[in-house]
Structures are given as structure tokens and as C-alpha cells.
Amino acid sequence: MTWVVAEAKGFGISEHNSLVSKDPDDQTKEIFRPYRVFCARKDLHCKDVVLEDGDVARALIEYTSHTAIEHLVIGSSNKTGFLRFKGSDIPGTLSKGAPDFCTIYVVSKGKIQSMRSASRPVPFVSPLLTLNSDPPRVPLSGATVKGERRPLEVPPRRSHDGTTDSFRSPFTRKGMAERYVEISTPVDSDITFVSSGRSSIDKLFPTLTNNNTSESGFSNPRLSYSSDTDANYSFESLNFGRRSIDITSPDHSFSSDGFSSSSQTTDDVEAEMRRLKLELKQTMEMYSTACKEALSAQHMAVELQRWKIEEEKRMEEARMAEEAALAMAERERAKSKAAIETAEAQKRIAELEAQKRLNAEMKALKESEERRKAIDALANKDVRYRRYSIEEIEEATSFFAEALKIGEGGYGPVYKCLLDHTPVAVKVLRPDAAQGRSQFQREVEVLSCIRHPNMVLLLGACPEYGCLVYEHLSRGSLDDVLFCRGNSPALPWQLRFKIVCEIGTGLLFLHQTKPEPLVHRDLKPANILLDRNYVAKISDVGLARLVPPSVANNVTQYRMTSAAGTFCYIDPEYQQTGMLGVKSDIYSLGIIFLQILTARPPMGLTHHVERAIEKGKFVDMLDSKVCDWPIDEALTLAKIAIKCAELRRKDRPDLGKEVLPELNRLRELAESNDQHSVLNGFISPSNQSQVSVQVS
């Protein structure tokens, strides 16, 4: 492959009206230098051509036509990596005037700006392709070598068709002198590794590049080279016996007549060539020495690089070994730490297990002692209730069948059955219920001593299996009746006033129990049961706790360890402080009174009723299922309920002195009302309905 880099520039016309080839200046050398280096590194044959003409575009077109160039790369009008052509639009002129077998590429900033493709193949082989094998030729115009006056001529070159090519046509127009000087040398190898400042051909051939003028006044031809000095270049390729240098005057062109010069000039030239051979030999020896030194340095660099790699490898292995040792030590440290932590955890677990075992033993001993005391107390105490066996209860409840379950209390289910031909409700304590056994004992002891019309009657018990037998109340709980569950009818206001008074009477009975007042602690509509005549009875006294006799009435207080009962009905002060007193039940009583009036949920009910009274809309708060409310009496009951539900215990009224007298007045009003007949009809046996019992 041949790489051709061309520069075209204008020329000056001498006094003999000829084309004069000047020596390449520094700027031209700098322009060609990167392309030479590029071609040398890519192992490409490069040929430098310097064209001198007043019309640059026309000179390029003629040179392209003469040398049959297939591809021509030129720079655009803008300044690029190639030499910027001056004058008119040279790329456009070349695209229009170049031969149609030449493909023209116009490049700008490293990219193809435009391209004109060839329309036909090359008509003949380019003479440039033969320069790779032929010795270099130096067509000179009007110049001499080392001041000799006798000209030498090179045999004329033959073109592809056998005709003589004197390099005058098409470049020598109208007898004008030869217009270009060219030297082509093959690039066999790249020796750029020896030194970045390697010698050039100017140092190898100082006589050929001498810029001093000869005695005849002619200057040396302008020389251009394709690359720096070639290591394999041999000057013997210039065979002066077969090829010679044509030296003519400025007024003559190349011809075969110059070959008959005098023998003296030939001898001088041969002497000069011998001297040049000697200089070339010395230069080649220096080059060979430099190559050997460079090779030795390269080998040393390779050895150093290999030694460096081995050292780095050893260092890397040592580093990896160190890291592995550190990692292993870290793992061992972590294992040791984990083992220590595991041992400590096992020790703590063992201590906890020992403490739990000790607590369990202490608890078992305490329960055994309490059980013994209870058995002794039961054996020595006058039992006032009927003792049932578990066989009797199982037979009555069909082994606790689900069909007979009528409710689910906080401590176990409730079943309806017949015992001694009497309808009863059997409450069975769950084995896992907290404080279940103590709860059972308390209910048995308390309820066996209680006899009151407004208290649920305890008929018997099965102490061995924790079963309580109560009287069965057919109307169910007040909560079911207020919210009309089980298709129960809405209560008239007369019954509501009567139930209010009965609840207050039963609660006062608990608070006046001697020798110790009894606090219910879980008073709510679900624990108020109604018999077939809608008589209210308080049930589930199992959560009650006896208050010490040292504190009674208004100052009765007792610090409890945990809050019991439903949240909305529990005394707020009891929730905050744990201080329990008889007025804790007064708060629950006030909430129940408001629900009897409104039939609404307890959450925030006190606040809503107060707002309604303030805005004069109390009637809207009353239960809409009752149409004939006595507004004044209902408002009186609502105000009593609001006072009972005060947040502070000291602001609540006394049940026996303030609340119960007003409740008795309301009951008397209900009983003396003209609609008393309606009340009797409402509680007649024909309108009775069975409602499920919910006991907690």
C-alpha cells in the first residue's frame, strides 16, 4: 500500500522565466513530520510530493491525471490537520475538475465533510505504484551537486504505454522547467524505540542536503522524505552505472543527450559517492551500536519489569497471608466472644429457671395453705346454700351442651337448666380464669349471706368444680332490654323509673352491709338482670371486695392493685389512683341512669347530655321509642345522673341521703300515673319473652 501526502503552493518565476524548486523550509518539514511518523509506525510506504504552481487547484488536477490517483483526500477551506490551501475554493474546484476515475474526500475536523465518488475505473496503472520497487529518482531542475558544472542525466522513465516520460508533461507547460522534486524511500521497520531524537536523512547525507550554492550559482534541489532514517536503507540501491542523476541548466528539460558528459565529472561523482558510502557506513555502525544499546536497555527493562512483577506478587501473597491470618484471628475472637456470651446467657437462663422454680414452690405452698384454711373454714362454717354434686349439674346441663348456653361471663359460661324442678342459671368458672378460685369463694361467702329483693339469689354451688347455681331471671339483662335485643319491646318510662329506683335500693343495700361496706366495682347494665315482672336485680357480685371497717361511708377508701370492670363505667379517680370507695359505684350508677333515659352507648354520654341541657335540646337526647316522656321528671333524673358521674369523688352526691329520696319520688309518680293499666298490661304473662342472659 502506498500512502501519498501532497502539499501544493505557489511558485515564483525567475529571470529565465522557469519554475524553480526551492529547498523545503522548516514550516513544510513540520507539516510533513506527523504524516511520516504515522506512516512509519503503520509500516506504510510514504511519498512526499511538493508541487509549485501559481494555480494550486490546476496543479493538483494535472498531477492527479498524470499519476492516475484513485483517492484524493484534501482539507476543507477551514483550517484542519492537513495543510490549509489558500486562494479560491480549492475543494470545490477539485470536485468539479478532477478526473472522473478519482474519488475525492473533503475532510474537516477529522470527519468527512463531502465526497465525490469515481464514475469509472482508472484507465492505466499509476506510476506511483512502481516507485516501491524502483530505486529513488531525483529529477532536478537547473541544479548541480557540490558545485560541478558538468550535468548528469537519469535515463528517461517509461510510462505504462512505453512512451518516454520526462516528467515535463503535463507539468512542464510551454517549455517551462521541471516543477517538482521527489525522493521516495521504502520504510521497512520502525525504530522509534531507540531514541525520540533519532537522526534524520539530513545527518546521513550532509552533502546532498547542503544548502550552500555551487560555483555556477545553482542551488541544491528541494528534498522531501517519507520517514526518518531507515535502518535497512542501503545506498548501493543507487546504481550509478545503470541509473544516474540528471543535472541540467535552468533553460533545458530532461533529455537523453546529457548522458554523454565528460569522464572527469563521473570520477568526481564516484569519489563523492565513495565518501558518502563511508559516511553511511559510519552512520550505520553508530546506528547498530545504538540499536544494540537500545535492545540491551529493553532487555534490562523487561528483566526489571519481571522482577517488579515477582516482587509485587510476593508482596501480594504476603499481604493476603497477613489478611488471612488477621481474618482467622478475628473469627477466633468472634467465636470466643460468642461462646462467652452463650455461657453468660445460659447462666442467666439457669438463674431464671431456679428463681421460677423457687417461686412456683413458694406459690404451691401458699396455695396449699390457703386451700387447707378454706377447707377448714368450710368445714367449720354454717353453710347456707345447697351443695350440688358435679353429676347432678352435668345431668341437668346435658354435660354442658352448647344449646343450653345462655351467656358468657368474664369468668366462664352460663347454662340454663332445671335443678330440683326449678329453672336455674349455672355459672361455671373456667380453670384458667385469673383469681377464679378466690372469686368463687368470695361469691359463695357473700351471696350466701345476702337476701334482698333487688339482689340475685344464690340457690347453691358445687365447690369441688367451681359451679354456682343462681335463680333464673327470664327477662335477661337490662342491656338487652334497653337496646331491644331478642325482639324485646321498648320499655315505657314508667318501668324505667321503677327500675332506676330498684337499682339504687339494691346498691344502697350493698353499701350498708355490716360489719363491712361492700363495693360492687363492676356495676353496668349487663349485670342488672330483670325477672318476668321487670324487677331489677343486681348480679355478679364476684368482683366485689370487702372494704376495711376502719373507713366507711364518705371517707371509705382502699388502695387497689389493679383496675377491674368495664372501662366506661369505672370511676376515673379509681383508674388514676387505685383508691376504692363506695362512691366508685355512684359513678357507675350515674352512667346507667343516663343510658336508661337515652338508650345510647356509654362513651361520652355525660358530655352529650350536658351539652343538650345547656342548649335546651334535652328532649332530643331521650329515647325516641318512648313518646310520652314526662320532660320535667326526666330532666330531674338526668341532672341527678350527671351529678353522680362527676369526675371528682367528693363532688358526687350521697346515695342514701340525696339520690334515693328523689328516685323513690319518681317511682311513686310512675306507679300513680293514669297509664298504670298500660304498665300492668306490658308486664302481663301474655307479653313475656325469653331473652338470653349475659353475666360477666
The residues that are catalytic are 522
Length of the chain: 696
- How far apart CA 471 and CA 460 sit, in angstroms, is 9
Sequence-distant (6+) residues with CB within 8 A of 188 are 230, 231, 232
**What SS3 class is residue 112?**
strand
b/e 652-661 (16+ beta carbons within 10 angstroms → b): bbebeeebbe
Is the separation of the CB atoms in 509 and 455 below 8 Å? yes
643 membership: H or E segment, kind and range: helix 631-644
How are the residues of the chain apportioned to helix, strand and coil, as percentages rounded to the nearest 5?
A: 45, 15, 40
- How far apart CA 606 and CA 593 sit, in angstroms, is 10
Return the ∠ at Cα 325 (arms to 324 and 327), rounded to 5°: 60
- How far apart CA 433 and CA 226 sit, in angstroms, is 110
**What SS3 class is residue 525?**
helix
Q: How many CB atoms lie within 10 A of CB 141?
A: 27
What are the grid coordinates assigned to 254, written together?
A: 530532461
Sequence-distant (6+) residues with CB within 8 A of 345 are none
What are the grid coordinates assigned to 343, written together?
A: 455461657
Peptide bond into 515 cis (omega under 30): yes
Measuring CA to CA, which residue among 93, 101, 155, 98 is closest to residue 124? 101
DSSP collapsed to 3 states, 398-463: CCCCHHHEEEEECCEEEEEEEECCEEEEEEECCCCCCCHHHHHHHHHHHHCCCCCCCECCEEEEEC
Residue matched to cell numbers 522509534? 192
Is the separation of the CB atoms in 634 and 670 below 8 Å? no
Sequence-distant (6+) residues with CB within 8 A of 637 are 497, 500, 593, 597, 662, 666
Is the separation of the CB atoms in 218 and 28 below 8 Å? no
Name the pairing type of β-strands 467-471 and 422-428. antiparallel
R_g over Cα of the chain = 65
Is the separation of the CB atoms in 454 and 506 below 8 Å? yes
- How far apart CA 153 and CA 243 sit, in angstroms, is 8
Is the separation of the CB atoms in 45 and 39 below 8 Å? yes
- How far apart CA 342 and CA 333 sit, in angstroms, is 14
Question: Among positive and negative, which fits the CA dihedral 265, 271, 274, 278?
Answer: negative
Side-chain-facing half-sphere of 75: CA atoms under 13 Å: 16
**What SS3 class is residue 650?**
helix
Measuring CA to CA, which residue among 20, 45, 42, 30 is closest to residue 200? 30
Going from the C-alpha of 334 to that of each of 3, 327, 328, 329, the distances in angstroms are: 71, 10, 10, 9
Q: Which amino acid is at 28?
A: T
Sequence-distant (6+) residues with CB within 8 A of 139 are 154, 167, 178, 180, 181, 182, 246, 254
What are the grid coordinates assigned to 203, written together?
A: 545527518
